[in-house]
Structure 1
Amino acid sequence: MKIVCIGAGPAGLYLAISAKLRDADNDITVIERDPPGATYGWGVVYWDDLLDTLYLNDRESAERIRAASTLWQEQVVSLRGTEHAYISGYGYSMNRAPLLEILADRAAMLGVDIQYERAVEDLSEFSDADLIVVADGANSRTRQQYAYEFGTEVSQGRNPYLWLGTDRVFDKFTFDFEETPQGWIWFHAYPSSAGISTFIVECKEETWYGLGLDQLGADESMRLLEDIFDTPLAGHSLISSSRGKPASWHRFTQVYNETWRHDNVILIGDAAHTTHFTLGSGTRLAISDAVVLAQKLLEREQVATALKEFDLEGHAALRVAQTSARTSMAWFENADRYTDRNAVDFCYAMSSRNSLQPPWRYQQHVLTQHPAARKALRLVNNASRWVQARKRGESRRP
């Protein structure tokens, strides 16, 4: 089968890997507009469910991804840098650039032809392809050309956000909410590589304008944000430049497509659907799309049948995640409604934002704020993590 994949992000590269592993005779080309290593953003976050998928599908790349990842334990939520509350659990994070490098290396090893710095203007140049996979992100130019056929709906979230790095290493997934005369502003931070953490700043539009962040240059914005977050940064610096370009403010792009298929063209990853970054599911969903589509192509004789099943089953499976993501985004767009509470109650409101909770859950949350309870939960989580790692055959590591 001749497959052309547009976009060398996690979705496109992992589709190429997965399809090659299932049939080495597949002729697969991945086409990327940008040069190697050019990527927006700093780190990505994931959990055990993604590692389970990676190890089951391709142990070679899974081992490299796990080795390049950082384990963090607990989430801490801070109000004004002085009040703190905690959420039990653990997760993993890594820089986006090495993730793409690992996937590109693995794809090339399997015989995938990756062509960088090549823009796709018209799909007619791939008339000999059996399948065209569109995986060029939320702002997909290819999808935009066929917006009517896919039934594309794109909308923007209200809150401006800025994706930064910092040389302050956070050992926990950290949220900090600070009050300014112009309103509340906060960050989400987590370790993403040795000596560097990802640092995402978010606020309401009114606060953004009030602080003048719509007018300030990159250096001035960094100085202002370092002053606002002086306490949690503990004297460390923010880093704006990623791959030579300063970070810019965005509003989250919500992408919905009535269908992901048109003729022999299929959308996957963020080109097909997006989930708000506060849910931390984008990479997992992109990888899942790739694996499921590759398996459908193997199991079905007709490409059209494989694409139809992938489309129908994928939409059904994604419904809960997208609903949860919209709810999460809406909560953060109205976070200041909860800031009159103490840190423990504020943290509970944030942690339960995606679903209704039984009354006893709040009491449990209060109990788990005590140091002894937190220590016990960390021991339980460590044991659970060890069992999960052994089950998937993960090499022994901290």
Structure 2
Amino acid sequence: MRVAVIGGGPGGLYFAYLWKKRHPDAHVDLFEQNAAGATWGFGVVFSEQALEFLRADDPDTVNAIGPRMQSWNNITLNLRGERVEIDGVGFSSIGRLDLLGVLQQRVRAAGVTPRYDTLIQSVDELKGYDLIVAADGLNSLVRRSFEGDFGVSMSYSPNKFAWYGTPKRFETLSQTFVETDRGAFNAHHYRYAPDMSTFLVECDRTTWQRYGFADKTIEESKVICETIFADTLGGQPLLSNKSVWRNFPWIWNEHWSFRNMVLVGDALHSAHFSIGSGTRLAIEDVIALVKALEAERDLTLALARYEAMRKPVVKKLVTAARASAAWYEQFPEHMKLGLMDFAYSYITRSGRIDNARLRAMSPLFMARYEARAGEKA
């Protein structure tokens, strides 16, 4: 089978690697419009559950990225100069460029030579391939070319965010909430290397307008954010990498394939950064697609099987992501709560964690929360 993969991000690289490794005689071409060392953003996170899922199917890749990852077992919330830790919430992180480097090595070792700096401008350029895997992200050429056939829907979250990095080291995945005279800000921050961290700044549209960010340069915006989060950064700067203000895009496709084309990752669906699942979802999509292709000899049946098996799982995650995003859209109101009530509201925001699960997952936090609730009763 001749396969064309569009997109050299984690999803595209992982499909090319996994398919070629399991089918050495297959012809696989991977096309990426950017250079091999180009990427947007800084670090990406995986939950413990996501890593275990990947380990079950591909332990070699987990072993390859494991030594490069930073790990922790709790979340820290900072509000009004107070802090609380929620135990038992394990995550690991890795620099996005570092992850791409590992996957690029594995792709080449499997026998695929990615074609970087190669822009595919029309699907017609890919005639002759039996399968086209669209791993080309939020602005997918394949999806845009056949929006009606894929049943595309798109909307945007109202909050604004800018994705920075910083040499400030944070010991856990942390959230810092700051009130200013022109509105509230939130920063999502975690280390992805011993001396580097992701630092994503978020605010509502009203606050964004009051600060005049629409008319600010990237550098001017960065300086303002450094001032707002000066205490959190401890004198360290923010670093920009295309760190423009954005609205999070919600993408969903009712149909996951059309003809011999199939979507994976952000080309197919998006999940809010507050649940940290974008890269995970792309990799799990690829695993499901490979299994479906191996289970059915007929391509049409295989792609239908991929959608039937994977869509219910993704819908649950996207539903949780939307609930999480809705909480962030109201985070200035949540900031009026006391520290423990605020933390409880935060950790239960997706609707997937009830008190029983929270007691089992985070016994130290839950004991403290319930003791405080009892004092107030």
Q: Which TM class, normalised by the smaller chain length?
A: over 0.9
CA-CA distance at 1:24 after TM superposition: 1.0
SS at match of 1:341: coil
TM-superposed CA distance for 1:366, in Å, is 10
1:203-223 CA-partner distances (Å, limit 9, x unpaired):
000001111222222222222
1:310 Cα deviation from its structure 2 partner: 0.4
CA contact (8 A) 2:87 2:361 kept: no
Going from structure 1 to structure 2, the CA distance change for 1:361 and 1:127 (only over 3 Å counts) comes to closer
Aligned to 1:97: 97
Deviations 1:93-130 (A, max 9, x none): 01100101111110111111310111111212222111
Judge conservation of contact 2:7–2:30 (CA < 8 Å) in 1. yes
CA distance in 1, matches of 2:47, 2:20: 25
* C-alpha RMSD of matched pairs (Å): 2.1
Code of the aligned partner of 1:265: M
TM-score w.r.t. length of structure 2? 0.93
**1:332 maps onto 2:331 in alignment:** no
Counterpart position of 1:298: 294
1:289 corresponds to which residue? 285
Deviations 1:313-334 (A, max 9, x none): 2212211111101111111011
**1:338 alignment partner AA:** H
> Structure 1 pair 23/363, CA: closer, same or farther in 2 (3 Å)?
closer
Q: Percent identity?
A: 33
Offset, 1:57: 3.2
C-alpha contact (below 8 Å) 2:11/2:265 kept by paired residues? yes
- What is the rounded CA distance, in whole Å, between the counterparts of 1:84 and 1:30 in structure 2? 46
Distance 2:194 2:338 in 1: 33
Quick one: distance in 1 between partners of 2:182 and 2:67? 43
Q: 2:305, 2:135 → 1: CA distance?
A: 18
Match of 1:83 in 2: 82
| C-alpha contact (below 8 Å) 2:348/2:354 kept by paired residues | no
- The alpha-carbon deviation at position 342 of structure 1 amounts to 1.5
Q: Confirm or deny that 1:135 pairs with 2:135.
A: yes
Match runs of 1:293-372 below 5 Å: 293-355=289-351, 368-369=364-365
Letter in 2 for 1:97: L
For 1:116 and 1:230, locate their aligned partners in 2 and report how far apart those are by CA, in whole Å.
39
Distance 1:362 1:311 in 2: 32
Kept in 2, the 8 Å contact 1:344–1:366? The answer is no
Say whether residues 1:176 and 2:172 are aligned partners.
no
Question: How far off is 1:298 after superposition?
Answer: 1.6
Q: Deviations over 1:61-117 (max 9, x none)?
A: 32221111101231111113x111221122100110010111111011111131011
Paired residue for 2:153?
A: 153
Q: Post-superposition shift, 1:48?
A: 2.3
Q: For the residues of structure 2 that align with 1:59 and 1:359, how far apart are their CA atoms?
A: 33
Partners of 2:314 and 2:15 in 1: CA distance: 18
**Does the 8 Å CA contact 1:86/1:369 hold for their aligned counterparts?**
yes
Alignment CA distance shift 1:217-1:295 (3 Å): same
Per the alignment, in what secondary structure is the counterpart of residue 214 of structure 1? Answer: helix
User: TM-score, with normalisation over the residues of structure 1?
Assistant: 0.88
Describe the shift of the 1:192–1:365 C-alpha distance in structure 2 as closer, same or farther (beyond 3 A).
closer
Q: CA–CA distance in 2 between the matches of 1:356 and 1:151?
A: 28
Number of residue-to-residue matches in the alignment: 368
Structure 2 unaligned spans of 5+: 370-377
State the shift of 1:51 in Å. Answer: 2.3
User: What stretches of structure 1 of length at least 5 have no aligned partner?
Assistant: 375-398
Distance 2:157 2:268 in 1: 17
- Aligned partners of 2:300 and 2:353: how far apart in 1? 42
Equivalences for 1:165-244 in 2 at 5 Å? Answer: 165-240=165-240, 242=241
Give 1:360 shift.
Answer: 6.9
Structure 2 CA distance for aligned equivalents of residues 76 and 317 of structure 1: 28
The answer as to whether partners of 2:320 and 2:352 remain within 8 angstroms in 1 is no
